[in-house]
Amino acid sequence: MRMDIVSRCHCCDDEHKLETIEHLFLTSPIAQKLWEKFAFCAGIKLHGIQLQRVITNWWKAKGPIKIKRIFKIVPAILLWELWKRRNARRHDKNVSLFKLVQQCQHTINQFIRYTYPWITSPTHWEGIVKYFYQYKPKLYYQAISWQKPKEDWVKCNTDGSSKGNPGDSAYAFCIRDVRGDLIFAEAQQIGITTNIMAEAVAVLKALSYCRQSQHRKVIVETDSLGIRNFLLREWKIPWELSEILEDAIAMIEQEGIQVKHVFREGNQLADALANNAHNHTEKQVYNQFNQLPVICRKILNMDKRQVMSLRIKTRKIKTTTNQYGHHSH
pLDDT digit string, tens, across residues 236-258? 999 999 999 999 999 999 999 99
Q: What strands, in cross-sheet order, belong to the sheet with 218-222?
A: 258-261, 218-222, 154-163, 167-176, 182-193, 284-286
For the segment 193-217, the average pLDDT, to the nearest whole number, is 97
Strand-strand pairing, 309-313 and 218-222: unpaired
Share of the chain above pLDDT 70, in %: 91
Query: Which range, of 44-58, 76-90, 183-197, 268-282, averages the lowest pLDDT?
Result: 44-58
Pairwise pLDDT comparison (316 vs 178), residue with the higher score: 178
List domains and CATH numbers for the chain: 21-133 (no CATH), 142-313 (3.30.420.10)
Q: How big is the CA angle at 14 (ends 10 and 15), to the nearest 5 degrees?
A: 70
- Confidence bin at 313 (pLDDT 50/70/90): confident
Q: At what angle do helices 29-39 and 65-90 cross, to 10 degrees?
A: 160
> pLDDT tens across 4-33, in order?
555 567 677 655 567 788 988 998 889 999
pLDDT of residue 142: 87
DSSP H/E element including 249 = helix 239-255
Q: What was the pLDDT predicted at 327?
A: 33
**Residue-by-residue DSSP string for 46-81:** -TTS-HHHHHHHHHT--S-HHHHHHHHHHHHHHHHH
What is the pLDDT at residue 49?
81
The whole-angstrom separation of Cα 225 and Cα 230 is 9
Rounded to an integer, the average pLDDT of 252-281 is 96
pLDDT single digits (tens) 131-184: 999 998 888 888 999 999 999 999 999 999 999 999 999 999 999 999 999 999
Question: Are the C-beta atoms of 161 and 277 separated by less than 8 Å?
Answer: yes
Per residue in 26-55, pLDDT (tens digit) is 988 899 999 999 999 899 988 778 999 999
- Please report which confidence band the pLDDT of residue 234 belongs to, taking 50, 70 and 90 as the band edges: very high
pLDDT at 329 over 70: no
- Estimate the crossing angle of helix 268-277 against helix 195-212, to 10 degrees: 110
Can you tell me the mean pLDDT for 214-225?
96
CA 179 → CA 148, 272, 297, 305, distances in Å? 7, 20, 15, 10
Q: What is the pLDDT of residue 316?
A: 67
CA distance 219 to 20: 68
